[in-house]
Structure 1
Amino acid sequence: MTKIRFQLLICFLIFSTSQVIAQGKITKKELKPFIGNWKGSLTYIDYSSGKPYTMPANLEIKKGLNANELLISNIYPNEPKANSVDTLIISPKENSFDGAAVKSITRLSDGSTQIITESNDTDGNDKKPALIRHTYTISKTNYSNRKEVQFFGETKWMKRHEYSYLKNM
């Protein structure tokens, strides 16, 4: 899933920087801290009702077959049919994280790192064209991934969902 791929990209970039760096690069060295099990929740805005809904969500990250890959398992304890496994691919040459351009990498005052990516895609039940922004914030014990959407022709950003995790130590 692209959601998980973006989340990992942000995490990688956060640990590799100490200040705001435009167009940060991701290397395989940054992948190691994200390997493990994460427990948390997903809060999303329902497409039909427009109301927020929160559910348990866990994440398991393992090394992939290649050095620039991670295997990501999304686990939803209350909705196991929604579980998924995906491969995250990091492309330092193209400055992308699974196809999304890295816009910034920032070291925050609390010591965590924030990575922002953007890509053109579609969103909503009617698959409207949109600019998709993922904001990944990660520390040694916490990780979040917020997705925001700006439909083409509009100036307002809409928060679509946010994953929040604590790392199982």
Structure 2
Amino acid sequence: MKQLKNILIIGFCLLIATLTQAQKKSNRLINDFMKVEGNWTGQLTYLDYSSGKPYTMSAELEIKRIPNTNEFLFVHTYPKEKSANKTDTITISKDGQYIGKEKLVSRTKLPKGNMRIITEKEGKDGNDGKKATIRQTYILGNTSFSTQKDVLFSGETTWIKRHEYVYKKQHD
């Protein structure tokens, strides 16, 4: 009986330690994204699969946390292409392992206090919807913010840069 009690106590302690560690990971990501809340201006460059050429257009972004949640709104505005405007909701999982459906691959501190976060997911991309691994790289800084989507099609060995957003912080 004493042995069973000890096993249960050890198991409970391991569970608490695991949950505490998961909460720390989630809080780190939430804090990372809270640092980039606000208004940003810059540009989107994306690969047009039809022509095979990159296309660049101006872009603005507002990032704001939904109060008391693990969610952030990304309000994308394209001044010259209003029909492309959209709002995305980014959700950080409670265990800190996912941003939306994308698995956290790495979180690396960079010079000047910037942070690089890389996520990946399996999905489809391209005009014909080919299976692919999709990698998202976020660079979060006090005055700059960027996201880059890279695609590795099934059976291929070369990553393709699908698009990149590069922003500078707007000062109110």
Please state which band the TM-score falls in when normalised by the shorter chain: 0.7 to 0.9
SS at match of 2:137: strand
In the superposition, the TM-score normalised over structure 2's length comes to 0.79
TM norm structure 1: 0.81
The aligned residue for residue 39 of structure 2 is 37
The structure where helix makes up a greater share of residues is 2
Offset, 1:105: 1.0
Which stretch shifts more, 53-62 or 83-92? 83-92
Higher mean C-alpha displacement, 102-111 vs 43-52: 102-111
**Cα distance between partner residues in 2 of 1:94 and 1:37:** 25
Match of 2:95, SS? coil
Evaluate the alpha carbon distance shift between residue 95 and residue 75 of structure 1 in structure 2; reply closer, same or farther with a 3 A threshold. same
Task: Report how far residue 157 of structure 1 moved.
Answer: 0.6
CA shift in 2, pair 1:145/1:154, >3 Å: same
- How many residues align? The count is 146
Cα pair 1:103 1:118 within 8 Å, conserved:
yes
**Which residue does 1:77 correspond to in 2?**
79
| Paired position in structure 1 for 2:21 | none
Structure-1 residue corresponding to 2:93: 91
Structure 1 position 159, deviation (Å): 0.8
* Greater RCO structure (CA 8 Å; 6+ sep): 1
Of residues 44-53 and 56-65 in structure 1, the stretch that sits farther from structure 2 once superposed is 56-65
Identity of aligned residues (%): 48
Displacement of 1:154 in angstroms is: 1.0
Match of 2:25 in 1: 25
CA spacing shift, 1:159–1:111, aligned 2, 3 Å: same
CA contact (8 A) 1:64 1:87 kept: no
Question: Gaps (5+ residues) in structure 2?
Answer: 1-23
Alpha-carbon distance, 1:94 to partner: 5.5
1:123 maps to which of 116, 122, 125: 125
Summarize the alignment of residues 33-72 of structure 1 with structure 2, pairs less than 5 Å apart: 33-64=35-66, 66-72=68-74
1:145 is aligned to 147
Cα distance in structure 1, aligned partners of 2:97 and 2:77? 28
Letter in 2 for 1:25: K
- Which consecutive segments of 4 or more residues in structure 1 shift more than 4 A? none
CA distance in 2, matches of 1:141, 1:46: 29
Q: Match for residue 4 of structure 1?
A: none
